[in-house]
Amino acid sequence: MKSMRPGALCLFLFISFSLHAQDSSLLLSNVIITATQTAQQQKESGRNIIAINGAAFNTLPVQSVDELLRYLPGIEVQQRGPQGAQADITIRGGTFQQVLVIIDGVKLNDPLTGHFNLYIPLHPAEIERVEILKGAAAAVWGSEAVGGVVNIISKSFSGKKYNNEYRGRIVAGEYGLLNTAVYGRWTAHKNSFSGGLFSNNTNGQPLRGTKGYFNLHTANLSFSRQLTNNWRVSLRTAADFRKFNAQNFYTSFASDTANEIVNSAWIQAALQKKYKKGQLQIDAVYKKLRDQYWFRPTAVPNDNRAGFYASQAYFSGIINEKNGFTAGVQHSLKFIKSNDRGEHSLWHGALYGILRHHPGRNLYINESLRLDWDESYGWVLVPQLNMAWSLSKLTLRAAAGKSFRDADFTERYNNYNKSLVSSGRIGNPALKAERAWNMEFGADYNFSSRFRISSGFFYRDHEDLIDWANTAYADMPRKDNLVPGGSYALAKNVEFIRTSGLELDIMYNEKTGPNSQLLAMAGFTWLKSVNDDPVPSLYISSHARILLNYSIAWTVKRFSFSIAGLYKERAEQFSAPLNSKLTPSYFLMNVKAGWQFIPVKGRLFLQADNLFNTAYIDLLGAQMPGRWLSGGIEIAL
C-alpha cells in the first residue's frame, strides 16, 4: 500500500477516536497503580499512562487481548499470527523484550522468550482494567521495564465488590472460524469465585503451501476472601494450551513449514493487610511452560521446558498529608531444560523504595531507587525521578531514570545444544545486560471531564542493546556445532542505540443523547532510532517510525458500531528466498456492528477484520490474514 499523504494522517488523527463504554473515570481521571505501586490520580504520577476497562474487549472489533492492545495510543503490536496465536508488543521503539507485562502486580514475562509475553492467562471478562505506562519503570518493577509496562488488573485481585455475572459468547466465520467463551462470577458473604474458558479456533487462511490454523484455549479459576475487615486473600490457577501454524514466525527460509505447541500453567496468590496509614502486600507466583517447535513436520522438535518462581512483599504507607512511601523486596528463580538450549537456572533478588511528595498545591514528586542483583549480571543500582505540575486543566510532567534488561534463555543459548547447525539464530552466553538512560517531557490538557489531549517528547540512550545481527561464520565466537559457509544471525550487544520521539494521544468520551454515547481514543507516534553498528539488527530495524492507531465505539439505543485501525510506516525489508517484502507502510481497519435483542442481556453482531483486505506482514516472513468475516452472539446475565 502506498504511503498516506500528510493530510490524510492529520485527518485520521483528529477525527478517529476510541474506547469502552462502561466507566469514563478510567479514561480521564483514572486512579492508577502502575507508576508507584500505590493508588494515585494520573496527574500525580508524572507519567503518560493509558487505562482501558476490560469491557472494551466486547465493545471493539477484536478477537484477543493482544488485538485489543494493538489499537491503543502509541502501542505497537507486531503480530506473527492472528487472534492471539502470537504477537510481540513494543512501546517507544524498544524491542519486544523491553516491555514488562504484569498481572496483579507480578511479572508475567517468560524466561524462554519474549514472544510468549502476551499469552495472558485470564478470560477477558475477568480483566478489570489494563494500564499501560509508556517509558522506563525499572526502578519499581525491575528488568524489562525499558520501553514501558503493561499492568493487567483482574476483578478477583482488585479488592472491589462485583455482582454475580454469567456470560457466554460464540463466534463463527470464514475458514472454519469458531470462537467460544464462557465466564461466571459468584459472590456470597466474604467469598468470591470466578472462572472462565476462552477458545479461538480456525482451519486458517492459505499461506505458502500451508494453512494458518490455530487452536488456542485459556482457562482460569480465581478465589478471593475477605478474612477480616483488614485482611484479604486471593488465589488463581490458570492453564493455557496453544497449537498453531508457525510458518516463518522466526525464519525467512523457504523450507520453513513450522508448527508449534505452547502449553503453560500459572498459579498465583496474594495476601493484603490494610492499616490505618498503609497497606502490606505479599505476592507469590509459579509459572511453567512447555514449548515444542517443529521446523518441518518430519523434523525432531525443539522441546523447551521453562518457568519461574517469584515472590515479593512491599508496604505502602502515608507519612503525612504531603508525603508517602513504598518499600519492598523481590526474589525469583527462573529455569529451563531443553534439548536445544540445555539446562540452566538463575537466581534473582531486589530491594527498592519509593518516596511520594506533594510539597505544594500543584506540585507532585515521585522518587524511586532499586538495588537489583542477578546471578547473570550482578549488582545494578537503578534510580528514577518523576515530577508533575498540575493546574486546573493543564498538567506538565517530566521523568528521568535508568533501565536495564538481561538476556532471556533463547538469546543466550538458542541452537547451542544441537550437534550440528547449518543456519539460523545462534545464542550467545557472553551477552551483557542492556542498560539505558531515559528522559521525557509532556503535557496533558483536559478541555473538559470528557476530552483530554496528551503530548510529549521522549529520549532513550541505550548501551549494549541485545538483538540479532547477521554474522559471518568467521566472526562467530563459538564454532563447535556450526559449518563453514552457514548463514547465521548471532545474538549480540549492539554498541549504542539512541531513540527519540514525539507522541500525541487524544481521548474523548461523551454522552450524545439520552440513549446514545460516543467514546474515543487516538494516538500518533513519531520516533527515530540511530544505531552506531554498521550491521542492522533485526528488531530495531522493524519498529514503526510513524504509528497511528485509533478506535471508535458508538452506541444508539440498541444499535452499536465500532471501528479500530492503525497506520504505520517503517523501514522496508525484502527476503529473496521467500520473495517476501515488508512494505514501508500499511493501513488496517476492523469494523463491528451489533444489535441488542434482549435489553442488557443479549446481542447479535457482525465483524470484518482487515476490512480493506490489506496484504501485510509485521515481521518479515510471517504473512498476516486478509479480510476475515465473522458473526456471533453474546449473552450476559
Q: What is the pLDDT of residues 617-633, one digit of tens each?
A: 998 889 999 999 999 99
C-alpha to C-alpha distance for 467 and 94, rounded to whole angstroms: 11
> How many beta carbons lie within 10 A of that of residue 533, not counting itself?
16
pLDDT(16) > 50:
no
The answer to whether position 293 is within a domain reads: no
Residue 476, pLDDT above cutoff 60: yes
110 touches 411 (CB < 8 A): no
Asked if residue 183 belongs to a domain, the reply is no
pLDDT of 11 over the 50 cut = no
**Mean pLDDT of the 134-154 span:** 93
Residue 141: which residues within 8 A CB-CB, separation 6 or more?
100, 102, 107, 149
Instruction: List the one residue out of 168, 63, 124 whose CA is nearest residue 635.
Output: 168
In this prediction, residue 224 carries a pLDDT of 96
101 and 141 Cβ atoms separated by less than 8 Å:
no
The three-state secondary structure class of 137 is coil
For the chain, how many helices (H) and strands (E)? 8, 34
pLDDT band at 137 (very low <50, low <70, confident <90, very high): very high
What average pLDDT does the segment 419-443 reach?
94
Tell which wins on pLDDT, 126 or 35: 126
Does the pTM of the predicted model rise above 0.85? Answer: yes
The CA distance from 592 to 630, in Å, is 10
Indicate whether 346 belongs to any domain: yes
Half-sphere exposure of 536 (CA within 13 A, CB side): 10
Cβ–Cβ under 8 Å, residues 19 and 27: yes
Mean pLDDT value across residues 566-573: 91
The distance from CA 71 to its chain's CA centroid, rounded to whole angstroms, is 12
Taken in order 615, 618, 623, 626, the sign of the CA dihedral is negative
Residues paired with 633 in a beta bridge: 170, 604
Using the predicted structure, report yes or no on whether residue 574 has a pLDDT greater than 60. yes
CA dist 432 and 450 (Å) reads 47
Domain containing 336 equals 6-159+310-622
- The answer to whether residue 474 is domain-embedded is yes
The pLDDT assigned to 35 comes to 65
- Note the pLDDT of residue 579: 78
Q: Give the CA-trace dihedral at 63, 64, 65, 67, to 10 degrees.
A: -60
494 pLDDT more than 70: yes
In a domain, 164, yes or no: no
Percentage of the chain lying above the pLDDT 90 cut: 74
Q: Which of 65-69, 545-549, 595-599 has the lowest mean pLDDT?
A: 595-599
Residue 280 lies in a domain: no
Instruction: For residue 538, count other CB atoms closer than 10 A to its CB.
Output: 17
SS3 letters for 200-232? EEECCCECCCCECCEEEEEEEEEEEEECCCCEE
Mean pLDDT of 103-119: 94
For the cut 60, the answer to whether the pLDDT of residue 9 exceeds it is no
* Rounded average pLDDT over 406-413: 95
- Does residue 383 carry a pLDDT above 90? yes
| Model confidence pLDDT, tens digit, residues 263-313 | 999 999 999 999 999 999 999 999 999 999 999 999 899 999 999 999 999
Mean pLDDT (whole number) for 596-620: 91
Across the range 510-514, mean pLDDT stands at 78
459: which strand partners?
A: 439, 500
Confidence of residue 534 (pLDDT cuts 50, 70, 90): low
Q: In this model, does residue 243 exceed pLDDT 60?
A: yes
Strands 31-32 and 86-91: unpaired
Domain for residue 276, yes or no?
no
Residues 417 and 341 sit within 8 Å (Cβ to Cβ): yes
Contact between 573 and 581 (Cβ < 8 Å): yes
Q: List residues bridging with 270 in a β-sheet.
A: 234, 283
For 208, residues 6+ apart whose C-beta sits below 8 A from its C-beta are: 247, 248, 578, 623
pLDDT tier for residue 573 given thresholds of 50, 70 and 90: confident
Number of domains making up the chain: 1
pLDDT digits (tens, 9 = 90+) for 347-360: 999 999 999 999 98
What's the rounded Cα separation, in Å, for the pair 232 and 434? 38
Q: Give the pLDDT confidence score for residue 10 in this predicted structure.
A: 40
CA 593/CA 602 separation, integer angstroms: 14
209 vs 496: CA distance, rounded Å: 40
272, 280 Cβ separation under 8 angstroms: yes
Cα gap 197→221, rounded to integer Å? 9
Residue 539, pLDDT > 80, answer no
What is the pLDDT, as a whole number, of residue 537? 65
d(CA 112, CA 116): 8
Give the residue, 633 or 55, on which the prediction is more confident. Answer: 633
In this predicted structure, what is the pLDDT of residue 17?
A: 34
- What proportions of the chain, in percent to the nearest 5, are helix, strand and coil? 10, 60, 30
Query: Which single residue is written with the C-alpha cell 479461538?
Result: 200
- Rounded average pLDDT over 147-172: 93
Share of the chain above pLDDT 70, in %: 93
**Domain CATH code at residue 442:** 2.40.170.20
3-state secondary structure of 540: coil
* Cβ–Cβ < 8 Å for 16, 53: no
CA distance 150 to 433: 22
Question: Over the chain, what is the mean pLDDT?
Answer: 90
Beta bridge partners of 234: 224, 270
- Smallest CA-to-CA distance from 403 within 167, 50, 170, 135 is with 135
User: What gap in Å lies between CA 201 and CA 223, rounded to an integer?
Assistant: 28
pLDDT at 192 over 50: yes
Would 515 be classed as within a structural domain?
yes
Three-class SS state of 180 = strand
Gap between the Cα atoms of 9 and 361, Å rounded: 39
